[in-house]
Amino acid sequence: MREMNRMATVSQRLGCRLASDSKVAFHPGVVNTRPRIQDIVVADIRELDLKLLQAFVTLIDEESVSRAAERLSVAQSSLSGMLKRLRELFGDPLFVRTSHGVRPTPRAHELGRDIREVLERIEALLIPEDFAPAQATLTIAISATDYSQLAIVNPLIAHLRPLSPQSRVSVMPFEIAALNERLASGHIDLALTVPAFAPDDLPSRQLYHESYVCAVGRQHPLAAAIAAGDIDVADICRFSHGIVSPVGGSFRGPVDDALEQLGHRRQVAASMPNSVALLHLLQVSDLIAFLPARLLPHYRDCMTWCEPPFAVDGFSMIAVWHRRTHLDPGHRWLRQQLYQTVNTVNTVNQQ
């Protein structure tokens, strides 16, 4: 919906429309070539609805008519009609059916690069130089893990509400494998992650360095000792542990490396997909876990924690975004609010 609404606005402001008699033409002297985006003459550009181009790049991203139609908030029959017009315009099938949806032709991939650039340039022309947060109607999609949602996104939304009450934040699941593609296509505008999962060629900024604490449920036999900070390595290794495995199925983490350097080993009894699931498991079991420090204040009524009695490597959190939004005034403002929010949380945690 964001894509189609945005391009509808662009079309209206540029006076573009879709006419039923749109035809493909070529520059003089071009013989026996298929039309490229730069080969369509001015008369045809005036007949070209920008929604067609947005539908084209969405089909390339989704490789499915049904998913593309859902993302654009149009009926599948309407999208099929747009695809027919695109095939007529560019003189190529563009997409071929497969058992899993549609596959872009080589010609479609070639055109896709040019069309994305055209759309990005047109949108950039319409961005106001001055950004007024109080009147803004931003919709920002942020990809975040459960940890990032609690530690970063929730404080950010609370910070934004009085500053830009008409703006909206959509929190999306974090997917490592498709991060670059989702940022490039506009599925997400900002991702909160660790440096190892971020594409090297995209803009990013470090937010903070996170440390681990040793945590148990309040019913745990070590709860009193942990609350007093009176535990040692032997105490920690005496009980089984739970860990978070973001990629799934791992029973090893940075704590194991630290323990082995001290000549100790621990027994990991549970590998959980996210921190929230592990926190709930700790409340009903005798497991110990090393968890990010910023999570625990949200569970102070049911959890006990302390700094570990040995050094454990933490991790850095970064924000990463795509070049298409790098200079956008609204996105730049939002990223600035993110930095301010994180700095405020950092200050509170240090007190």
Picking from 82, 97, 125, the residue at the C-terminal end of a domain is 125
Could you give the strand order of the β-sheet that contains 303-306, starting from the edge strand earlier in sequence? 289-292, 212-217, 303-306
The pLDDT value given to residue 25: 31
Query: Which among 179, 123, 114 is positioned nearest to 327, based on CA atoms?
Result: 123
Which range, of 40-49, 91-100, 181-190, 336-345, averages the lowest pLDDT? 40-49
Taking the C-alpha atoms of residue 195 and residue 209, their distance in angstroms, rounded to an integer, is 11
The answer, yes or no, to whether residue 15 has pLDDT greater than 50, is no
The answer, yes or no, to whether residue 9 has pLDDT greater than 60, is no
The answer, yes or no, to whether residue 80 has pLDDT greater than 50, is yes
Please check whether residues 12 and 121 belong to one and the same domain. Answer: yes
Please check whether residues 204 and 325 belong to one and the same domain. Answer: yes
Taking the C-alpha atoms of residue 292 and residue 295, their distance in angstroms, rounded to an integer, is 6
The pLDDT value given to residue 118: 82
The pLDDT value given to residue 47: 53
Please check whether residues 64 and 116 belong to one and the same domain. Answer: yes
Please check whether residues 289 and 154 belong to one and the same domain. Answer: no
CA dihedral angle for residue 333, residue 334, residue 337, residue 342, rounded to 10 degrees:
-140
Residue pair 92/34 in contact by the 8 Å Cβ criterion? yes
The answer, yes or no, to whether residue 197 has pLDDT greater than 70, is yes
Please check whether residues 119 and 22 belong to one and the same domain. Answer: yes
Please check whether residues 178 and 286 belong to one and the same domain. Answer: no
Residue pair 138/156 in contact by the 8 Å Cβ criterion? no
The answer, yes or no, to whether residue 123 has pLDDT greater than 80, is no
Please check whether residues 13 and 100 belong to one and the same domain. Answer: yes
Could you write out the DSSP letters of every residue in 32-88? S----GGGS-HHHHTT--HHHHHHHHHHHHH--HHHHHHHHT--HHHHHHHHHHHHH
Please check whether residues 60 and 179 belong to one and the same domain. Answer: no
The pLDDT value given to residue 127: 55
The answer, yes or no, to whether residue 89 has pLDDT greater than 80, is yes
Please check whether residues 26 and 81 belong to one and the same domain. Answer: yes
Residue 246: strand, helix, or coil: coil
Please check whether residues 196 and 220 belong to one and the same domain. Answer: no
Amino acid at 248: G
Cβ-based neighbour number of residue 287 at 10 Å:
23
The answer, yes or no, to whether residue 261 has pLDDT greater than 80, is yes
Condensed to tens digits (0 to 9), the pLDDT of residues 277-312 reads: 999 999 999 999 999 999 999 899 999 999 999 999
The pLDDT value given to residue 46: 54
Tell me the residue ranges of DSSP E strands in 13-133.
Answer: 95-98, 101-104
Average pLDDT, rounded, for the chain: 83
Please check whether residues 199 and 249 belong to one and the same domain. Answer: no
Residues facing residue 304 across a β-bridge: 216
Q: Give the pLDDT mean for 203-222.
A: 93
CATH number at residue 98: 1.10.10.10
Number of domains in the chain: 3
The pLDDT value given to residue 69: 87
Query: Which among 56, 53, 69 is positioned nearest to 11, based on CA atoms?
Result: 53
Q: Give the pLDDT mean for 320-345.
A: 89
Picking from 125, 160, 195, the residue at the C-terminal end of a domain is 125
Taking the C-alpha atoms of residue 118 and residue 40, their distance in angstroms, rounded to an integer, is 13
Please check whether residues 82 and 137 belong to one and the same domain. Answer: no
The pLDDT value given to residue 41: 42
Range(s) of the domain holding residue 77? 2-125
The Cα angle at residue 340 between residues 335 and 345, in degrees rounded to 5: 125
Which range, of 27-31, 43-47, 55-59, 268-272, averages the lowest pLDDT? 27-31
Query: Which among 284, 340, 342, 334 is positioned nearest to 317, based on CA atoms?
Result: 342
CATH number at residue 235: 3.40.190.10
Which range, of 17-21, 75-79, 96-100, 312-316, averages the lowest pLDDT? 17-21
Condensed to tens digits (0 to 9), the pLDDT of residues 62-79 reads: 788 988 888 788 899 999
